């Protein structure tokens, strides 16, 4: 589903990604972990053409990601959903309209069809009773689940999650991780940048440890957590971060 080949990325004189290569198969959950500044979120944003790479190539769903090609970016947006740490919900719109907006404006669906899809995805994230609520009436965990539902409504082939639980307390984090675990069980291809080590160990198919802008180690959780090959990964895991 995703092929990252020798990708580099710099912000001015600061090189953040150094020749990153990574292959993500259909139906797998890949957890990207590492210290702050290791390039995790930058890599995720490059996968969705939110950042332009300086070298290498990225293919998603068989299509090369190229920011200068508007058609390819539009196609990418239709196939890849992204959920951020900040929920980015429109405060003046109901939960239902937050979800249906892209369906009616971008996908040109009728309001009735869009409403039906929105109610379905709200049910999937356990918020069927919140359709007419406004974002200010939601807890952080509920708002993040609405953000996930909004992405699901567009029927993506891949979902990207960027530290979606880092601003939530433990109880609300559990709500969001439960939704992600259900999606993984249903075969959704997902890539998540996370600091939730227990979740990565339990649910991810592959764990990628990034260090100094490179893929330092990658493998199944049992291998990564039980038998780290490098001192950098051993130190990271022992720190409890």
Mean model confidence pLDDT for the chain? 92
pTM over 0.75: yes
Crossing angle of helices 140-153 and 111-124, in 10° steps, is: 130
Ordered by start, the domain boundaries in the chain are 2-239
**Is it the case that residue 174 has pLDDT exceeding 90?**
no
pLDDT value of residue 136: 95
Instruction: Report whether 98 contacts 150 (CB < 8 A).
Output: yes
Whole-number percent of the chain with pLDDT over 70: 99
pLDDT tens digits for range 120-171: 999 989 999 999 999 999 999 999 999 999 999 998 999 999 988 887 888 8
Q: Could you confirm whether domain 2-239 is CATH 3.40.50.2000?
A: no
pLDDT of residue 240: 61
pLDDT of the residue at 71: 84
Report how far Cα 209 is from the mean position of its chain's Cα atoms.
16
Give the model confidence (pLDDT) of 18-59 as tens digits: 999 999 999 999 999 999 999 999 999 999 999 999 999 999
């Amino acid at each position: 589903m995703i092929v990252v080949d020798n990708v580099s990325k710099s912000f001015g004189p600061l090189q953040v990604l150094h020749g990153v290569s990574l292959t993500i198969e259909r139906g797998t959950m890949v957890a990207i972990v590492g210290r702050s500044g290791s390039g995790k979120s930058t890599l995720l944003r490059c996968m969705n053409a939110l950042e332009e790479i300086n070298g290498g190539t990225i293919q998603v769903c068989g299509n090369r990601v190229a920011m200068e090609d508007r058609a390819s970016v539009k196609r990418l947006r239709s196939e890849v959903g992204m959920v951020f740490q900040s929920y980015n919900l429109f405060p003046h719109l109901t939960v239902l309209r937050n979800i249906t907006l892209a369906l009616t404006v971008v996908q040109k669906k009728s309001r009735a069809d869009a409403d039906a899809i929105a109610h379905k995805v709200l049910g999937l994230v356990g918020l069927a009773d919140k359709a007419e609520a406004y974002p200010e009436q939601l807890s952080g965990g509920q708002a993040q689940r609405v953000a996930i539902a909004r992405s699901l409504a567009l029927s993506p082939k891949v979902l990207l999650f960027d530290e979606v639980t880092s601003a939530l307390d433990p109880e609300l984090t559990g709500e969001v991780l439960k939704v992600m675990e259900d999606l993984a069980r249903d075969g959704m291809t997902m890539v998540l940048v996370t600091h939730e080590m227990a979740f990565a160990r339990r649910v991810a198919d592959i764990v990628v440890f990034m260090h100094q802008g490179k893929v330092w180690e990658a493998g199944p959780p049992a291998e990564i957590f039980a038998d780290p090959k490098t001192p950098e990964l051993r130190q990271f895991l022992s720190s409890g971060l």
